[in-house]
Amino acid sequence: MGSWLSAGLPHERTPAVTVPEFQKKLMDEKDAWVLDVRTAEELEERPLPSAAHIPLGQLPVRMSSVPRGKPVYLLCSSGQRTTTAASLLQKAGWRNVSVVLGGADAWYSKTGS
């Protein structure tokens, strides 16, 4: 990555927030939009309240469902798929995208619900 940056090639940085930071942002940013990119099976086990659901594999054809004018927070189980989702959205022009570190696993370990 260092040589990519030093060459001046285009790149995006994706902000990452911890679960406590995410919880605060949900209270402060009334227009925040939460996208859960887990599979339907994972979602059945542990749904996240108020999150929209688009499995990562469907995101490229369902991007029109993601609002452009709102802060978008991405979650999956552990946080790995959110990086891919953020990259897809940023490549398509979304600018206010953040990943939640640790995803739903971290959410449930912090909230206990």
Q: Where residue 36 sits, what CATH number does that domain have? A: 3.40.250.10
In a domain, 2, yes or no: no
Q: Where does the pLDDT of residue 1 fall: very low under 50, low under 70, confident under 90, or very high at 90 and above?
A: low
- State mean pLDDT over 33-51: 89
Percent helix, strand, coil in the chain (nearest 5)?
45, 15, 40
Q: SS3 of 48, please?
A: coil
Q: Where does the pLDDT of residue 11 fall: very low under 50, low under 70, confident under 90, or very high at 90 and above?
A: low
State yes or no: pLDDT of 10 exceeds 70.
no
Distance between CA atoms of 18 and 105, rounded to whole angstroms? 12
**The total number of structural domains that make up the chain:** 1
Among the listed residues 32, 80, 33, 72, the one whose alpha carbon sits nearest the alpha carbon of residue 56: 80
Helix residue spans in 7-79 (DSSP H): 19-28, 40-45, 59-62
Among the listed residues 71, 70, 78, 69, the one whose alpha carbon sits nearest the alpha carbon of residue 100: 78
The domain of 51 spans 15-111
In a domain, 10, yes or no: no
Using alpha carbons only, give the angle 106, 110, 113 rounded to the nearest 5 degrees: 95
pTM of this prediction? 0.85
Q: Where does the pLDDT of residue 109 fall: very low under 50, low under 70, confident under 90, or very high at 90 and above?
A: confident
In a domain, 63, yes or no: yes
Q: What is the pLDDT of residue 46?
A: 82
In a domain, 43, yes or no: yes
In a domain, 5, yes or no: no
